[in-house]
Amino acid sequence: MGTVDKSFEAGLHTEQLRGRTQQTFFSATEEENFTYPYNAFEVDRAKKGEFDAQDLETSEINLKIRSLMEEGCGHIVVKNPRAKHSIGVGILNRLTLDFEGSLGYFGCGLIDGPNIHISGRVGWSFGENMMAGTVVIEKNAGSTFGAAIRGGDLVCKGDVGSRTGIDMKGGTIIVGGRQARFLDS
């Protein structure tokens, strides 16, 4: 028996590579590619929920988004985020999320799936480690925009800061305005 046959017998070739966003292991027939494997919420995009974040703390805002998703809201509008840090992080769900205002540092990190629109500006390290989804930012972004993203589309209509897309493994970053010098060269 040849070495190759032995390896088949030992079951070393049964592993299936899978992944929805990063590379080409995409197969339209696989159910898994169209469902969210995590503990995702069943949401209806036509059902809209909104709240004012003016007097809420960061964790209260994030929990509020989560509880609206639990109620089945597929379209959430957050008013007056007022540049607070770490808002909209860890959303592993299909969701339309609108921020009416600006976000601070580390906004919308670790997301997988949502379609986000931000009418203001974002601080540094926005969308860090994003896996999938789309984000459109109307104004400027800070440094390390889209750090370590692995998939999805990140669009900033204004200027971005230094080190945009540092450690980026996949996905797309589109910038409408100016960018830091090292991207010029």
Q: Where does this chain bind other proteins (CB under 8 A)?
A: 82-85, 101-102, 104-105, 120-121, 123-124, 139-143, 158-159, 161-163, 180-181
CB of 27 to other proteins, least distance (A): 41
Q: Are 128 and 144 in contact (CB under 8 A)?
A: yes
Closer of 78 and 92 to other proteins (Cβ): 78
Quote the CA–CA distance of 47 and 67 in Å, as a whole number. 14
How far apart are the C-alpha atoms of 184 and 69, rounded to whole Å?
A: 41
Report in angstroms how near the CB of residue 77 gets to other proteins at its nearest: 16
What is the closest distance, in whole angstroms, from the C-beta atom of residue 176 to other proteins in the complex? 13
CB atoms within 10 A of CB 8: 12
Q: Which residues pair with 12 in a beta bridge?
A: none
Return the number of the residue (6 or 178) whose C-beta is nearest other proteins: 178
Rounded CA-CA distance 111/118 in Å is 15
- Residue 157's CB is within 10 A of a number of other CB atoms, namely 15
Report the residue number, 43 or 141, with the smaller CB distance to other proteins: 141
Minimum CB distance to other proteins, residue 162 (Å): 4
Closest CB to other proteins among residues 72, 177: 177
Considering the complex, state which of residue 62 and residue 162 has its C-beta at the smaller distance from other proteins. 162
Residue 48 and residue 73 in contact, taking contact as beta carbons nearer than 8 Å: yes
Shortest separation between residue 22's beta carbon and other proteins, angstroms: 28
